Amino acid sequence: MTNTPLFIPVILGTPRQGRQSEHVAKFIVEQIATRDDVETELIDVRTIAIPTNDAGESIKDPQFSATVERADGLIIIAPEYNHGYPGLLKHLLDTCLKEYIHKAVGLCGVSAGAFGGTRVIENLLPVMRELGLVTIFYDLNFTNVQDLFDESGNLIDKQTYIRRLDKFMNELVWMSTVLRYGRQKVNQ
């Protein structure tokens, strides 16, 4: 079994102008960069040009597909829009299938309200299962997100979120490691 660092990209799930989720993504990517057991990169739904007059694997973006294929796990940053997930996030996720199978996923909810994206996470869970992804049992929630970052986009209470992110990442690393072992060693 390979001991190379896990590759766990972060998907920023909204193209909205002025999105607060971008600050969340920046914080998570920067913190993961301090770990030596994980490599990451940001996947921004805004920058992937997939058609909107079709859906599914026929509009696969080669680079997104290759990145997910290489990944051991994913982190999805999902702002809560009318208690659901942004349409463009789902549209992008739907372009792949085999690339996700038996890989771990950690979910990060972002909302202006008090529930920190709990409802968008609940709505994503059945989607993750159908894609073949394996969810971890610890989520990240960014509650009242408009109050969490300063004007430069830095977290005001950084230590609290570093603690939560460490717990989340430790679980995601464990699940990603186990699943990588399984993909490499266990016949199906």
Ligand X SMILES: Cc1cc2nc3c(=O)[nH]c(=O)nc-3n(C[C@H](O)[C@H](O)[C@H](O)COP(=O)(O)O)c2cc1C
Q: Interface residues with ligand X (CB under 6 A)?
A: 14, 16, 19-21, 79-83, 110-113, 145-146
The answer to whether the CB of 80 falls within 8 A of the CB of 110 is yes
Least separation in angstroms between residue 165's CB and ligand X is 18
Residue with Cβ nearer ligand X (83 or 164): 83
Residue with Cβ nearer ligand X (21 or 135): 21
Question: Helices 158-185 and 21-32: crossing angle, nearest 10°?
Answer: 70
Residue with Cβ nearer ligand X (7 or 81): 81
Least separation in angstroms between residue 5's CB and ligand X is 28
Q: Is 172 helix (H, G, I), strand (E, B) or coil?
A: helix
Across 1-21, b (16+ Cβ under 10 Å) vs e yields eeeeebbbbbbbbbbeeebbb
User: 173 forms bridges with which residues in the sheet?
Assistant: none
Least separation in angstroms between residue 114's CB and ligand X is 8
Residue with Cβ nearer ligand X (52 or 146): 146
> Which residue of the chain is nearest ligand X when measured via CB?
113
Least separation in angstroms between residue 79's CB and ligand X is 3
Across 140-174, b (16+ Cβ under 10 Å) vs e yields bbbbebeebbeeeeebeeeeebeeebeebbebbbe
